[in-house]
Structure 1
Amino acid sequence: MARPLPRRLALFCVLASCIALALAAGTTRPSRRGLAVGDSQDGGASDVGVGGGGGYDDSLMPRPAPSSEPRACQFENERLYRAYLVIQKFRKTVICDPKGVTATWAGTDLCGSYKGFFCGRPINVSDRTVASVDLNGFNLRSDSLQGFVDGLPDLALFHANSNSFGGAVPNLRGLQYFYELDLSNNKLAPAPFPTDVLGLTNATFIDIRFNSFFGELPAGLFGSFPEVEAIFVNNNRFSGQLPDNLGDSPVNYLSLANNDFTGPIPSSIGRAAGTLLEVLFLNNSLGGCLPYELGLLARATVIDAGTNRLTGTIPLSYACLRSVEQLNLADNLLYGVVHDSLCRLAYDGRLANLTLSGNYFTWLGPCCWDLVREGKLNVDRNCILWAPNQRSFHECAQFFHDNWSRMTCPVSKYVPCHPKWYAVDAASAREEPAAAEEYKYRTYSALHP
């Protein structure tokens, strides 16, 4: 039978065993699964339990969310990255986008997937950049264009017809490549003509029709653009007299229609004989004598001064309008004789439509009667004996009685051309009717939003 250990020896053995266990635990590597996080079943606060191995799982620590915005290094060049920032800033201001256009304005492919944006390389620049923006007909709505159009320094064209852009016209003077501006049919803030536009000396196309601009047109509009082709300011609230230097502009297509201009048509219009192709003075309050100088516009295909308060007789210089196809002088205060030399433009020139209705003419030349029968000349509501649909005798008599003392417009018998010298050759005359069916006049098209 074994002898029992002494009490002190037994106590020593117990202590030694405890020390050995403690040392063993201290040398064991702690597990990295030491921290367990679990949601409580009752949806309240989470329970945190510490595992037997100690330590924690650093994969569960919160990290910053990755940014969805592309970085500068992802773009083709820095110019496109800067354009991207401008577009994204403007995108946030668009409060109505019925066609979902702005949804395409995402990512780094500005030149391919961004609807309405087109890229090119400016002169002496190797990098591609946003060169033109065409938002026509998108019906976008934003309270301002400032910081957008003027924030794209390489922009050459901006077209935004038929949207709902508000605010003022941005200052575009800093855009060195810019030459086409179309802000027509928007909701721009009522204001005088945006004179900052006059700084666009490279401009070839200025279109601000169908807005709420008011006041007089600045003379600079007809003197600041040496290469301008089209100026459309119709359907605004402009008023006052037209600038005297109107004829100094090299413009080809000019629409001043549907405003409230007063005073005469400037005689300088004759200086535009070599460049002006279409001009609309339609539906204003222009007065004074029908200018002789309009007859000098030998290249013009459209001259429309209808619905004004112009007076006098038709100058004989109008027989020189060898290229005119549409001549409208209806609804004015014109009187006197409609000469054969004018009506012969339908045979010796390209005249397809001559509208003289709503005046006080009293006589037609023999050739003019032929045009009436052919439907090319409208003389309704005049004072022409034996013509159909004329004013009453009383109305005609009253007009001449009331205006006799004011019928002071000069009558010149000088014809600055010989009509036969400018006759259209027979082949061209035969081709003209078919071509006219398809031809659309740019100024008349501008009368629609």
Structure 2
Amino acid sequence: MKALCCFLFLYILSSPSLNEASVPAPTRRHLGPNKDTGVLTDFGFNFDIEINARLIFPSLRLKKAYFAFQEWKKFITSDPQNMLKNWDGADVCSYTGVFCENAPDGSNVMTVAAIDLNHGDIAGQLIPHLGLLTDLSVFHMNSNRFGGPIPSSFSSLTTLYEFDISNNGFDGPFPDVVFDMPNLKYLDLRYNNFEGEIPPQLFDKDLDAIFLNNNRFNSSIPENIGNSNASVIVLANNELKGCIPHSIGQMARLDEIILANNQLKGCLPKELGNLENITVLDLSNNNLMGSIPEGFGNLNCIEMIDIGHNQFTGTVVDAVCTLPKLMNFTFADNFFDVLEEKCDKPVKPELVLDCRQNCLPGKPDQKDETTCKRRKPQKRIPVL
């Protein structure tokens, strides 16, 4: 929690100045024509009337936050840990999971800067009123039982930096509202029921971390994935099809990419060898085929490679097994039939190689000979 507070302090100091003129017109229309009137025309109420007149708030922003939280409570159906027990009264900043800081526009006004209800096992829905929290920089809601759509009013969260709704029951298509969050850097939608296409706009957005794993996305990986500045991309455990785009080699900042447990096919693009800063590459449990690209020998920062449970053939080359930082190389359950010398007997004793269920002569736990012959391409005899 201390780390979260430090992050908020540093983020607010570095946030650009925001005022009503800088908010896009669609946002102002959604929340009413005047940010400071308290009237929300699309919601159909004036919260000056709705709120108990005896409550005193240090700022209009906290008054709006109070109203948003009270409305949200009405859509909470289960709170087994009583995390929201103290969500009453005007002191919004004392609510469990709510963190306040000075507003990022330099007005020296206290405002809600973060919500963190991780691991609360809370059931309910997100509501449009949360769009009132326009100074929010962190929204952490992982490991709960929220469902339904993400409200379009979240486009008002123009200072949001981290959006984590992982391990819930959200469904429907990819929530395009995240494209209206200009300062978003960390996006975590994993372990939900989102489905359909991964939109290409995702990789044009300046994100540092993208977690979409364990959903039901079933499109191909967009060709413009190489436009992304992300250091971590995890798309595992979906139903993604097609080939790995060649543009992936453009991702100079990429540190980890995990595409495991999908339905990807085709050969590995040689451009993977351009990922000079990558440390983790997991392409396991797909339908990929062909040989290991020569460029793999350029991955001098790589620590873990997993290409197991695919249909690769040919030779496991020394250039990979001698990479300076490689600690774990898994290529089990493929059709490799040759190990070069330094893969057969690694120079580094700490290197873990998993070569089971291939077609490697003399190695234990290999595929049977009939399976290997059936998979091995046959030489064509010319017709005379």
Measured against the shorter chain, the TM-score band is 0.7 to 0.9
Counterpart CA distance in 2 for 1:149 and 1:101 is 18
- Note the C-alpha offset of 1:255: 0.3
Name the residue aligned to 1:178.
160
Matched, 1:357 2:332: yes
Matched, 1:260 2:235: no
Residues 44-75 of structure 1: CA distance to partner in whole angstroms, max 9, x if unpaired? xxxxxxxxxxxxxxxxxxxxxxxxx7547622
Residues 122-141 of structure 1: CA distance to partner in whole angstroms, max 9, x if unpaired? 23332111111011101111
Say whether the 8 Å CA contact 2:158–2:180 is kept in structure 1.
Answer: no
- Counterpart secondary structure, 1:319: helix
Name the residue aligned to 1:100.
82
Name the residue aligned to 2:210.
231
- Counterpart secondary structure, 2:192: coil
Name the residue aligned to 1:115.
96
Which 5+ residue runs of structure 1 have no aligned equivalent?
1-68, 406-449
2:109 to 127, 130, 137: 127
The amino acid of 2:78's aligned partner reads C
Decide whether aligned partners of structure 1 residues 318 and 239 sit closer, same or farther in structure 2, where only a CA change above 3 A counts: same
- Note the C-alpha offset of 1:328: 0.3
The amino acid of 1:356's aligned partner reads F
- Counterpart secondary structure, 2:223: coil
Counterpart CA distance in 1 for 2:271 and 2:364 is 31
Matched, 1:203 2:184: yes
1:193 to 174, 198, 212: 174
Say whether the 8 Å CA contact 2:288–2:312 is kept in structure 1.
Answer: yes
Residues 181-201 of structure 1: CA distance to partner in whole angstroms, max 9, x if unpaired? 11111111x311111211222
Say whether the 8 Å CA contact 1:242–1:265 is kept in structure 2.
Answer: yes
Query: Runs (4+) of structure 1 moved beyond 6 Å?
Result: none
Counterpart CA distance in 2 for 1:294 and 1:322 is 12
Matched, 1:369 2:344: yes
- Counterpart secondary structure, 1:158: strand
Counterpart CA distance in 2 for 1:184 and 1:332 is 28
Name the residue aligned to 1:385.
361
- Note the C-alpha offset of 1:98: 0.5
Decide whether aligned partners of structure 1 residues 156 and 72 sit closer, same or farther in structure 2, where only a CA change above 3 A counts: farther
Matched, 1:246 2:225: yes
Say whether the 8 Å CA contact 1:343–1:368 is kept in structure 2.
Answer: yes
Number of equivalences: 327
- Counterpart secondary structure, 1:130: strand
The RMSD of aligned alpha carbons is 1.7
Superposed counterparts of 1:34-433, under 5 Å: 71=53, 74-111=56-93, 113-120=94-101, 121-142=103-124, 144-171=125-152, 172-188=154-170, 190-223=171-204, 225-226=205-206, 228-272=207-251, 274-345=252-323, 349-371=324-346, 376-401=352-377
Decide whether aligned partners of structure 1 residues 401 and 338 sit closer, same or farther in structure 2, where only a CA change above 3 A counts: closer
The amino acid of 1:338's aligned partner reads V
- Counterpart secondary structure, 1:322: coil
- Counterpart secondary structure, 2:172: coil
Q: Percent identity?
A: 38
Decide whether aligned partners of structure 1 residues 78 and 201 sit closer, same or farther in structure 2, where only a CA change above 3 A counts: closer
Counterpart CA distance in 1 for 2:210 and 2:138 is 15
Name the residue aligned to 2:38.
none
Counterpart CA distance in 2 for 1:198 and 1:177 is 13
The amino acid of 1:260's aligned partner reads E
Counterpart CA distance in 2 for 1:364 and 1:76 is 71
The structure with the largest alpha-carbon Rg is: 1
The TM-score with structure 2 as length reference comes to: 0.82
The amino acid of 2:221's aligned partner reads L
Counterpart CA distance in 2 for 1:72 and 1:155 is 26
Residues 174-224 of structure 1: CA distance to partner in whole angstroms, max 9, x if unpaired? 222112111111111x3111112112221101111111111111100001x
Counterpart CA distance in 1 for 2:249 and 2:157 is 33
Q: Which moved more, 1:288-297 or 1:263-272?
A: 288-297
Say whether the 8 Å CA contact 1:72–1:78 is kept in structure 2.
Answer: no
- Note the C-alpha offset of 1:399: 1.1
Name the residue aligned to 1:59.
none
Say whether the 8 Å CA contact 1:116–1:133 is kept in structure 2.
Answer: yes
Decide whether aligned partners of structure 1 residues 263 and 72 sit closer, same or farther in structure 2, where only a CA change above 3 A counts: farther
Say whether the 8 Å CA contact 2:327–2:351 is kept in structure 1.
Answer: no
Counterpart CA distance in 2 for 1:125 and 1:265 is 48
Say whether the 8 Å CA contact 2:280–2:303 is kept in structure 1.
Answer: yes
- Counterpart secondary structure, 1:102: coil
Say whether the 8 Å CA contact 1:290–1:310 is kept in structure 2.
Answer: yes
Decide whether aligned partners of structure 1 residues 282 and 208 sit closer, same or farther in structure 2, where only a CA change above 3 A counts: same
Residues 147-178 of structure 1: CA distance to partner in whole angstroms, max 9, x if unpaired? 24323222111110011111101222222211
- Note the C-alpha offset of 1:377: 0.8
Counterpart CA distance in 1 for 2:215 and 2:54 is 43
- Note the C-alpha offset of 1:242: 0.7
- Note the C-alpha offset of 1:374: 5.5
- Counterpart secondary structure, 1:303: strand
The TM-score with structure 1 as length reference comes to: 0.70
The amino acid of 2:117's aligned partner reads L
- Counterpart secondary structure, 1:90: helix
Which 5+ residue runs of structure 2 have no aligned equivalent?
1-50
The amino acid of 2:366's aligned partner reads Q
Say whether the 8 Å CA contact 2:139–2:164 is kept in structure 1.
Answer: yes
